[in-house]
A = this chain, B = another copy of it.
């Protein structure tokens, strides 16, 4: 009788609605399998009806149209490998601590999305000169703790980002229809932005002439630098350059000898140019070997570093990445009340014995 298989699972942070993170330390595939793809929900899963297979486009356009799922399949499409990262990823590591889902490093997954560029769709409807933002509404809705009433999950993009040729109405993930929990049948995919922008179960697109201020745009997904006031708030948009150490595991015990330190790095600005490793708590840094994939700036890259742990003792290992636009991970993340955009050095402590 063969010894049974070991496999990781999603880590549950909340069950209703379902919020589960990827077991990032144990994932090696570039494309995250469906069962390990992180799930971030504001509301219970929506029921899928015939209506879900239609996408209405309205507002400041010339010809309001409803596209069926089949219509979309017939339009010119593209496929892109994209890292989707929740803006609350690593919230658990903020100091002082903040309220909200206590994500560690796994509110992040990667896949190959296929679909039609929003700009391709808008060729059919036209666009009025008054257009300022494009509003994307999902099918998921429910109540909030801070406001009375029911709300649909809806987010807008500035025109420029919405019309970027890689902002897609996706209908497939990794060669298959999008999994139900990832937004089936249609999901907006906004590369380089935190994933609150990539609206799941997409049901309508509305071109608007004034800034959208729904609660998922104007209350949540804002950086609030102050604990007790809203002064200085700024919208959460682009993914911050970041890296994560997958192995070794934090607070683990290792034998004397050579160990591979490895992990992932990604950014919303340009592409990763450098990952450095420190094994002495940040005093000295050495370059890691990074995966070469300059063709795709939207995906994470893997990196690895061989560490000769010849001396017994306790070590603080860190990684930090930098990108082609000159952004680099900070030693400390910029604290904000709702805990978004954490990207301080990834740190693990190990004991060699």
Bound-complex Cα distance A18 to B249 (A): 13
18 residue pairs bridging A and B, Cβ less than 8 Å apart: A1-B49, A3-B44, A3-B45, A3-B46, A4-B181, A6-B15, A7-B15, A9-B11, A9-B12, A12-B25, A12-B26, A13-B249, A15-B26, A99-B251, A99-B350, A99-B351, A102-B249, A145-B255
Which residue on chain B has the smallest CB distance to residue A26?
B15
A326 beta carbon closer than 8 Å to chain B: no
Contact between A4 and B251 (Cβ–Cβ < 8 Å)? no
- The answer for the CA separation of A2 and B6 in the assembled complex, in Å, is 31
Q: Does A252 contact B (CB under 8 A)?
A: yes
Residues of B near A7 (CB, < 8 A) are 15
Contact across chains for B1 and A9 when beta carbons are under 8 A apart? no
- In Å, the complex CA distance between A20 and B98 comes to 26
**Residues A18 and B3 in contact in the complex (CB < 8 Å), given A251-B102, A254-B145:** no
* Shortest distance from the beta carbon of A187 to any chain B beta carbon, whole Å: 15
Given contacts A2-B47, A8-B12, A99-B253, 18 further A-B contacts (CB under 8 A): A1-B48, A3-B45, A3-B47, A6-B17, A7-B15, A9-B12, A12-B23, A14-B252, A98-B251, A99-B252, A99-B314, A99-B349, A99-B350, A100-B251, A102-B251, A145-B254, A145-B255, A146-B353
Asked if B13 and A10 make an inter-chain contact with CB atoms under 8 angstroms apart, the answer reads no
Alpha-carbon gap, A10 to B314, bound state (A): 29
Across the interface, name the chain B residue whose C-beta is closest to A180.
Answer: B4
A97 contacts the other chain (CB 8 A): yes
Name which residue of chain B comes closest to A45, CB basis. B3
- 244-261 of chain A: CB within 8 A of chain B: 249-255
A47 CB contact (under 8 Å) in B1, B14, B349, B350: B1
CA separation between A20 and B10, bound complex, in Å?
11
Q: Is A231 an interface residue (CB 8 A)?
A: no
A interface bracket (residues with beta carbon within 8 Å of B) = 35 or more
Instruction: List residues 231-274 of chain A with CB under 8 A from any CB of chain B.
Output: 249-255
The distance in angstroms between the C-alpha atoms of A349 and B97, with both chains bound, is: 10
Residue A129 CB within 8 A of the other chain: no
Query: Looking across the interface, which residue of chain B has its beta carbon closest to that of A257?
Result: B145
B-chain residues with CB within 8 Å of residue A15 when the two chains form the complex: 6-8, 26
Question: Across the two chains, which residue of chain B brings its CB closest to A97?
Answer: B251
A16 beta carbon closer than 8 Å to chain B: yes
Complex interface: chain B residues within 8 A of A181 (CB): 4
Which residue from B6, B20, B146, B353 sits with its C-beta under 8 Å from A16?
B6
In the assembly, what is the distance between CA of A254 and CA of B16, in Å?
A: 13
| A102 with B250, Cβ < 8 A, contacts A12-B23, A145-B353 known | yes
Contacting residue for A10 out of B9, B45, B98, B349, CB 8 A: B9
Closest chain B residue to A92 by CB distance? B251
How far in angstroms is the closest Cβ of chain B from A244? 16
Contact assessment for B4 and A45 in the assembled complex, using a CB-CB cutoff below 8 Å: yes
Contact with B along A132-176 (1 / 0, CB 8 A): 000000000000011000000000000000000000000000000
Closest to A143 in B: B255
